[in-house]
Amino acid sequence: MQTVTKAELLSRKKEFLEKMKNEIFIYPTDTIYGIGCDATNIELVRKLRIIKKRFDTPFSVIVPNKKWIYLNCEVSKEAEIHLNYLPGPYTIILPLNNMDAVSKDTINDFDSLGVRIPDHWIAELVEELGKPIITTSANEQGKDFMTKPEMLSSHLKNNVGFLIDDGEIEGKPSKVIKVTNKGKEVLRV
């Protein structure tokens, strides 16, 4: 596994944007460190499911921008209110209109998608990539979520291409809000 700082990544941005399309990687956000890959790359998403031992539940994604959400998700008046929280420490689960927007293994058999735009420089990188990336905590099932690179397990370290080291993050996982035509439900505070 390769470790790079923000400065190193930005000085070699073209190279790392290409790596983001072809590798599983660990990255900082405004909440905690995440592990992910290009959400449209079915092979990488399947590999990430095996690494995380997360086979049934859908993954959420960091989207390139709000326009992507409006193009691919059903955005009701209620949803618009919650999308105003973005960028920020929120994941908004919305009905997915375009089932080709992410690989089928991203959502499994669900018809909704958790979307996120962190209030963090990583969101600018995803926007430049132009593709959604999987966002899930960089930890093994049942273990503490990762707030600094030193917490990375050897299992994950051995299964990712690179880690973007942004130092310690003092955060907690994002708040999760599910919005449907029946209203909203807060799934994680």
Q: What is the DSSP string of 72-100?
A: HB---HHHHHHHTT-SSSEEEEEEBS-TT
* Full pLDDT tens readout for the chain, 189 residues: 999 999 999 999 999 999 999 999 999 999 999 999 999 999 999 999 999 999 999 999 999 999 999 999 999 999 999 999 999 999 999 999 999 999 999 998 899 999 999 999 999 999 999 999 999 999 988 889 999 999 999 999 999 999 999 999 999 999 999 998 788 888 887
Q: What's the pLDDT score for residue 118?
A: 98
Fold of 2-188: DHBP synthase (3.90.870)
Q: What's the pLDDT score for residue 61?
A: 98
β-bridge mates for residue 113, sequence order:
94
Q: What is the DSSP letter of 149?
A: G
Q: What is the DSSP letter of 56?
A: S
How is residue 22 written in tokens?
Answer: 């072809």
Q: What's the pLDDT score for residue 182?
A: 80
Q: What's the pLDDT score for residue 95?
A: 96
Q: What's the pLDDT score for residue 145?
A: 92
Give the Cα separation of 156 and 172 in Å (integer): 20
Burial 120-156 (b: 16+ CB within 10 A, else e): bebbebbbebebbbbbbbbbeeeeebbbebebbeeeb
Which pTM value belongs to this model? Answer: 0.95
> What's the burial of 167, exposed, middle or buried (CB within 10 Å: 0-12/13-18/19+)?
exposed
In sequence order, which ranges of 12-61 are alpha helices (DSSP H)?
Answer: 13-22, 42-52
